[in-house]
Amino acid sequence: MTRVFNFSAGPAILPEPVLRQAAEEMLDWHGTGMSVMEMSHRGKEFISIHAEAEAGLRELLDIPGSYKVLFMQGGAIGENAIVPMNLIGRTGKADYVVTGDWSKKSMKEARTYGTVSLAASGEASGLTAIPKQAEWKLDPGAAYVHICSNETIGGVQFHWTPDTGDVPLVADMSSDILSRRIDVSRYGLIYAGAQKNMGPSGVTVVIVRDDLLGHALPITPSAFNYKLQAEADSMYNTPPTYAIYIAGLVFKHVKAMGGMDAMEAHNVAKAKVLYDYLDQSSFYSNPVAREDRSLMNVPFKLKDEALDEAFLKGAQARGMLQLKGHRSVGGMRASIYNAMPIEGVQALVAYMKDFEAEHG
């Protein structure tokens, strides 16, 4: 069996030990004679899987006891609506910071449910830099302030936690959760689709402070009401059971790798290999401000776009896939999430050097 280096932005690479364990347990989970896919979400077997997954995430992120952990469905795009439905009713208004395409989508969706203000925008830089907090115009009467901690398309990442005073900070962390240590207590709510660093698509993790429960708008569907889901231990409706199981295996794997500090060091080292090469090359370029560069998603362009297809074909021949940039920006994008080994980034840079030597 040959495994490729998968640079997909998501669904993305998963740790091989996790995939192997899931394969071994596919037909018979722990002597039950059935697959996790076949288990009742009300049965003791799955309840134990769910509890272990939650405990694993709480330990990794050091989540305070005053926060609920919910395993939901709908992805981050679903949360773009679910968050305001649950939170904006506190005051009727919210602030959004736009640093890329995903935060822009979040703000657009939220406007359906209340008064939404643009607190800050990276548009002036072409969405290649995060606006300094001194430039933000925050409303102290807002129900929350929303950011996207890592923009998957543009490759812009927060390397600092905004200070929003008494207004809860909400963050879409879909593409960088579990990649580094964070202080959960600085946030009112964190949400993240699993398919970058936590598991397969299908489950969305929501970490929400207790005092933010119970403010849902009357139009909020019951299945998307955080308070109801918290009271039902994420089982108000049938949860994405298999995706939760895989996420639990990933949490165990990350712990075995050394936890958040080790994972952050791993990710910093990988990103440095790629950015160092890009910075010394005149053949490739990365547009993002250095202090805001993502450790997870590295966009880059070739000097001559006419060579893009040849570059992608050559990469595929060397076992490196999914390097094509998002259709809205073009170029290339290497997504180097937790499960990408440093050898994958080293192989990419070696190929980029060869391609530059041949076509530069």
Q: Provide CB contacts within 8 A for 347, sequence distance 6+.
A: 5, 318, 319, 320
| pLDDT at residue 2, as a whole number | 84
What integer pLDDT is reported at residue 360 of this predicted model? 82
Q: What is the DSSP string of 205-249?
A: EEEEEGGGTT---TT--GGG-HHHHHHTTT-SS---HHHHHHHHH
Contact 101, 265 (CB under 8 A): no
Residue in 95, 172, 176, 292 annotated catalytic? 172
Contact 37, 43 (CB under 8 A): no
Is 252 an active-site residue? no
- Catalytic hit among 68, 196, 252, 270: 196
The CATH number that domain 259-359 falls under is 3.90.1150.10
The per-residue pLDDT for 265 is 98
Pairing outcome for strands 93-98 and 115-121: parallel
Full-prediction pTM beyond 0.95? yes
Q: Which pLDDT score, from 0 to 100, does residue 328 have?
A: 85
Q: Give the CB-side neighbour count of residue 130, counting CA atoms within 13 A.
A: 24
Give CA–CA dist 29/36, Å, rounded.
Answer: 6
In the chain, which segments carry CATH 3.40.640.10?
Answer: 17-256
**Residue listed under structure tokens 């003791």:** 44
Assigned fold of 17-256: Aspartate Aminotransferase; domain 2 (3.40.640)
Per-residue confidence in pLDDT tens, the chain, 360 aa: 689 999 999 999 999 999 999 999 999 999 999 999 999 999 999 999 999 999 999 999 999 999 999 999 999 999 999 999 999 999 999 999 999 999 999 999 999 999 999 999 999 999 999 999 999 999 999 999 999 999 999 999 999 999 999 999 999 999 999 999 999 999 999 999 999 999 999 999 999 999 999 999 999 999 999 999 999 999 999 999 999 999 999 999 999 999 999 999 999 999 999 999 999 999 999 999 999 999 999 999 999 999 999 999 999 999 999 999 998 889 999 999 999 999 999 999 999 999 999 998
* Per-residue model confidence (pLDDT) at position 1: 67
The confidence score (pLDDT) of residue 20 equals 97
- Which contiguous run of DSSP H or E holds residue 156? strand 156-157
Task: State the pLDDT at residue 206.
Answer: 98
Q: In angstroms, rounded to a whole number, what is the distance separating the alpha carbons of residues 113 and 81?
A: 8
Q: Where in the chain is the domain with CATH 3.90.1150.10?
A: 259-359
Phi, psi of 5 (to 5 degrees): -90, 110
- CA distances 230 to 184, 187, 218, Å, are 18, 18, 17
Rounded to whole angstroms, the Cα distance separating 307 from 63 reads: 47
Residue of 29, 95, 102, 301 marked active site: 102
Is residue 172 among the annotated active site residues? yes
State how far the Cα of 342 lies from the Cα of 348, in Å rounded to an integer. Answer: 10
